[in-house]
Amino acid sequence: MIELRHDVAGDLVTVHVPETTEDLAEFWKWLYRARERGPVAIDTETTGLDVFSPVFRLRTVQFGDASDAWVILYERGGYHASYARDALIRLRGILIHNASFDWLVLGQSAGISLEDLAPWTTDTRILAALCDPRQPQEGGTGTALKPLSAKWVDPAAPDTQGGLTKVFNSLGFTKETGWAGIPLTNPTFLLYAGLDVVLTARLAPMLRRELARLDVRPELVTYEHEIARLCAVMQRTGLLVDQDYAAPLARRLAEEAEKHGAIAARYGVTSVGSPAQVAEALAAMGEPLTDRTNAGALKVDKHVLLPLADLDRDWQRIGARTPNPLAYAVLRAKRAAKWGGTYAERFMTKLSAAGRLHATISPLAARTGRMSVTDGLHQLPSSDHVIRRAILAEPGHVMVSTDFQAVEMRVLAALAKVRRMTEGFVNGGDEFDIHAYTAKLIKGGKATPRDRKVFKGAGFGKVYGGGIQTIARQTGATEAEIAQAVAAYDRAFPEIKRASSRWQRQAYQNGMVFISATGRRLPLDRDRSYAVVNYACQSAARDVLGQAMLNIEAAGLLEYCRLPIHDELLASVPKREAADIAREIERCMTMDLYGVPIVAHAEIGGRSWGSLYGADY
């Protein structure tokens, strides 16, 4: 038995590493006593984060409580692996920091499914996010184990990740290669592996107490664990990538980026990714640049370059001037590099052995509770089908995308009790257009499509908390026109302003934290308290999506789900049953929110995701 000791909050804790079967028997004895006393914290160390890659391996499984940690050398196989597995399936109270990862690891590498583990799991990261959802950059503690431990357990809690990076470097590994390369019995590796479970075990009761002190509803905690499980199931399923399409696409886009990069070089721009170079060269060509970034540099983003290239927002010729060839080359080179590098190329490099992409779905990522997804799957270009064309439904399946209809406007109507908006949603039926309704409400029968556009801008302005200037910029209308429209909007829906003031006042009285309809804590920035309207809407929309996901599981349709995208659920469904399943998904996403109907519309595509964006396959 290897035994290591370390001070945690003034207590000497022991990290035990069984080597012989006698040692493993000791572990077993400890485990039986520990699980009588309460939940047991677990964690895994692996060769990397790419759980579904062919080279991924599980190295250790750790178990622990507040005073002892046991690092089981799973990689040794034999008794080590079977003791770890037997222990895992016997636990009826499990603490994990960021459970999704370990659920998937143990499912993939130890044959213990997340369905076995999830019912017994408390995720300390979820508890932390419900106490304070802000990232460190936003003034919060964040949800990483190290800063949380420093705050709640021991200010001197070791930085196990950072500490290991140093050890990796000293052994000739990098931060990336170290996890796979470090010898299994390296003492620092084992110590830190063990300390992580001790810290998790100590963190849990502190966060529980804090949640109780803050009066966070226990139902919300349960709900978030359910959502985390559903997201993990979708992550485990992954998405099929059309490799025969994506690989040549990545090459073609790389060539295109190179070609336009070479043209830019003729004008002295050796790196199109350097805004300073682009600005200097454009100025030398006599183009007057005026927009500035927050830091004061000249802006050369898409909004600046498109007009210089005589292109509108959809990259169509305007015919107002001679296109600047450098602006055009920079636009083309950057778009091709972005689409090729961030999407097509990345799809290929992140593939599992089965040719699938398992993007990490973080169920509680944003401070509003919104989810986030890695590998760009929330950000694929929607103006063109070329990238989404690379993502496929299963063989014999078609893609079905089901969107909530104007969910943030509906949520706003429901939360702020906006009478006339609610009436519109209630009486409007399935194809109801809130922005056309608003235009007609204000302008009467002579409302034009342009009026609709202006009031749509005003509506988004309300949901986002935007001002006249921004709405004008976004819609392309004049500030005077927008000022008038916003004033009319406020007269038509006076409840919104009143709700905003009320919510801000409530937040002030609660230490600058607004409590959402579901009991979620939404901290406000003191100088941007107006953002409360957006936070309330965004977070309620997230909870509506979460409820829809629970409904979908209850209806037995979870296996078809692939990806949540804020107000949309992407699914792969058998072609023959597509119409029926699509209708069922719509039904699961349809609900009532304080008297406002939340409705969804399913679109049935072809084999690829791109087929829902105009691709013919």
Query: Closest approach of Cβ 462 to DNA, in Å?
Result: 9
Q: Counting contacts by CB under 7 A, is residue 529 touching DNA?
A: yes
Query: Closest approach of Cβ 606 to DNA, in Å?
Result: 18
Q: Counting contacts by CB under 7 A, is residue 484 touching DNA?
A: no
Question: Can you say whether residue 16 is alpha, beta or left, with left for phi > 0 and alpha for psi between -120 and 50 degrees?
Answer: beta
> Of 276 and 284, which has the nearer Cβ to DNA?
276
- What is the full DSSP assignment across 351-371? --TTSEE---EETT-STTS--
Buried b (16+ CB within 10 A) or exposed e, 281-302: bbeeeebebeeeeeeeebebee
Q: Counting contacts by CB under 7 A, is residue 296 touching DNA?
A: yes
**513 contacts 524 by C-beta, under 8 angstroms:** yes
Q: Cα angle at 195 between 135 and 83, to 5 degrees?
A: 120
Helix, strand, coil % in the chain, rounded to nearest 5: 55, 15, 30
> Of 109 and 277, which has the nearer Cβ to DNA?
277
Interacting stretch for DNA, rule CB under 7 A, among 45-53, 270-278, 433-441, 598-606?
Answer: 270-278
**CA–CA separation, 20 and 542 (whole Å):** 49
Q: Counting contacts by CB under 7 A, is residue 508 touching DNA?
A: no
**548-567: which residues touch DNA (CB under 7 A)?**
565-567
**CA–CA separation, 46 and 350 (whole Å):** 17
Query: Closest approach of Cβ 459 to DNA, in Å?
Result: 9
Query: Closest approach of Cβ 168 to DNA, in Å?
Result: 16
| CA end-to-end distance (rounded Å), the chain | 59
Select the residue interacting with DNA from 93, 275, 323, 325 (CB under 7 A).
275
Task: Work out whether strand 513-515 and strand 521-523 pair parallel, antiparallel, or are unpaired.
Answer: antiparallel
The Cβ-side half-sphere exposure at 495, using a 13 Å CA radius, reads 11
Select the residue interacting with DNA from 158, 178, 466, 597 (CB under 7 A).
466
Query: Closest approach of Cβ 270 to DNA, in Å?
Result: 8
Interacting stretch for DNA, rule CB under 7 A, among 164-172, 178-186, 378-386, 445-453?
Answer: 378-386
**143-172: which residues touch DNA (CB under 7 A)?**
none
Q: Counting contacts by CB under 7 A, is residue 452 touching DNA?
A: no
Q: Which two tokens stand for residue 147?
A: 């800063």
Sign of torsion, CA 114 118 122 124? positive
Q: Counting contacts by CB under 7 A, is residue 574 touching DNA?
A: no
Count of residues of this chain found to bind DNA when the rule CB under 7 A is applied: 69
> Of 38 and 465, which has the nearer Cβ to DNA?
465
Residue 11 β-bridge partners: 8
Query: Closest approach of Cβ 535 to DNA, in Å?
Result: 7
Q: Counting contacts by CB under 7 A, is residue 520 touching DNA?
A: no
**Helices (H), ranges, 321-433:** 325-338, 346-349, 407-415, 419-427
Q: Counting contacts by CB under 7 A, is residue 435 touching DNA?
A: no
**132 contacts 223 by C-beta, under 8 angstroms:** no
**CA–CA separation, 376 and 349 (whole Å):** 13
Q: Which two tokens stand for residue 30?
A: 């400890």
**352-371: which residues touch DNA (CB under 7 A)?**
362, 365-368, 370
> Of 343 and 560, which has the nearer Cβ to DNA?
343
Q: Which residue has the tokens 């609709």?
A: 452
> Of 62 and 237, which has the nearer Cβ to DNA?
237
Q: Counting contacts by CB under 7 A, is residue 478 touching DNA?
A: no
Query: 3-state DSSP call for residue 172?
Result: coil
Select the residue interacting with DNA from 438, 538, 547, 572 (CB under 7 A).
538
Q: Counting contacts by CB under 7 A, is residue 546 touching DNA?
A: no
> Of 200 and 529, which has the nearer Cβ to DNA?
529
**80 contacts 28 by C-beta, under 8 angstroms:** no
> Of 202 and 389, which has the nearer Cβ to DNA?
389
Residues found near DNA in the complex (CB under 7 A) = 135, 138, 271, 273-277, 293-297, 299-303, 305, 331, 334-335, 337-339, 341-342, 346, 362, 365-368, 370, 372-376, 378-383, 460-461, 463-471, 474, 500, 528-531, 534-535, 538, 565-568
